[in-house]
Amino acid sequence: MEFISIFDVIGPNMIGPSSSHTAGACSMALLARKVFGYEPKKVTFTLYGSFADTYKGHGTDKALLGGTMGFSPDDVRIRDAFEIAKKKDLDFTYVINDNEEIPHPNTADILLDNGKGYTLLIRGVSLGGGKIKLTKFNDIDVEFTGEYSALIVKQHDVPGVAAHITKCLYEANVNIAFMNIFREDKGTTAYTVIESDEKIPAEVISSIDGLIGGEAKKVSESEYKICGDILSDAISYALSVLEVNATMGLIVAAPTAGSSGVIPGVITSLGEHKKLPREKMIKGLITSGAVGYIFMRNATVAGAEGGCQAEVGAASAMASAMIVELLGGTPKQALNASAFAISNILGMVCDPIAGLVESPCQNRNAIGVSNAFTSAQLALAGISHPIPFDEMVDVMYDVGKTLPASLRETAKGGCACTPTGCSLSCGIFGS
């Protein structure tokens, strides 16, 4: 007989009329959101059984929607979920399926879409009293409750992957409570679901991919400050953002996730060392955003279109203009700084090892930070770039279009295709 705690009987704290149809529905959607790992832009709910018959009266529709927006079962915002979703431009749809026979009457499929081509279908079941479990990831049957700290690894089903994961957890002194491997068929996509007795450290998650993790701390603690305190700290901060990104943490795309460390690294370090007021820093961010807007309007910031010059290059140009603004330079100097930044990184390819936004992406964010400070220094010294900023944007776009597809975020060229790069990819994904 399955053990039941008194806390399973008395609880949960909740909004709504039904623990199974409201609290449970919210919990399964919230868990689905966490597994998805992105802010959804579109979500489709397919309702079965009792959910399909009573979802309006029980508030199941609002609870599911609230969960996908990150609301917990006791969040009063559930009542206004429709209005909040519309303000967030979250597209949501409910589909009733009363034809398919299902094992449990309180079942819903949640199809999440991040608006950038990535989708995930998750099936959830509400068991009563607010208890839930997830039973399907896309076409693969799973069983996952979310009651423990959990690690979910999507992988190719090849020998050695599970051993590698457990080794990483062992070395971090993480005790595994439950571990299951779910797969559609031998040698295909599989999910390893590990639930542990304690929270899984972020560094373990990064070590499973094995490419980055801990670099920011090493730079921060290094006795070698050959770049000076401001630049050294900016590099450390930029590296740390990419480490958070690699572990599916919350970051701000500035202008992309792959280049998200440059602007935060620059403004955080400069703000700290120069003791800049908040209002000044906001103006700096507005300036960087204006430069980014020109890139997005007239060229691209996508590595798949223009290589890393379009991602880290654009971020570096945005950051250089921001530095000029923060230090009291003129608009002309800001645009000169951006022009220098583009020309310095012109032609930089996008060749992520194993297709992961980790390496060489992290190092290039550090280079982007350095380039931003160098370019701003030149502009503030009164040096003008011979080519106007708007023409440099055009140049970057033209160069990006001439790069072969293998060097535009396909992981089919550059660092990704070195013998070591291929070996790392096989070790992570099995192919």
DSSP conformation letters of 131-173 = EEEEEEETTEEEEE---SEEEEEEEE--TTHHHHHHHHHHHTT
Residue 205 falls within a domain, yes or no? no
Same domain, 128 and 234: no
b/e code 117-132 from CB counts within 10 Å (16+ = b): eebbebbbbbbebbbb
CATH number of the domain that 24 lies in?
A: 3.30.1330.90
8 Å CB contact between 96 and 48? no
8 Å CB contact between 195 and 175? no
Q: Residue 258 half-sphere exposure, CB side, CA atoms within 13 Å?
A: 26
Confidence (pLDDT) at 341? 98
Please say which residue of 147, 174, 189 terminates a domain: 147
8 Å CB contact between 149 and 30? no
Same domain, 133 and 221: no
Same domain, 236 and 364: yes
Confidence (pLDDT) at 20? 82
From CA 112, how far away is CA 32, in angstroms rounded? Answer: 9
- The β-bridge relationship of strands 176-183 and 42-48 is unpaired
H-assigned helices in 172-307? 202-209, 215-221, 229-246, 262-274, 278-298, 303-306
Confidence (pLDDT) at 203? 61
Confidence (pLDDT) at 9? 42
Containing domain of residue 422, as a range? 211-429
Same domain, 418 and 273: yes
Same domain, 269 and 384: yes
Low-confidence ranges of the chain (pLDDT < 50): 1-4, 6-11
Confidence (pLDDT) at 8? 46
Same domain, 263 and 353: yes
8 Å CB contact between 141 and 190? no
Confidence (pLDDT) at 204? 63
Q: What's the length of the chain?
A: 431
* Paired tokens of 323: 């530095």
Count of structural domains, the chain? 2
Confidence (pLDDT) at 202? 62
Please state the pTM of the whole predicted model.
Answer: 0.59
Same domain, 142 and 68: yes
Same domain, 117 and 241: no
Same domain, 328 and 408: yes
Please say which residue of 101, 126, 147 terminates a domain: 147
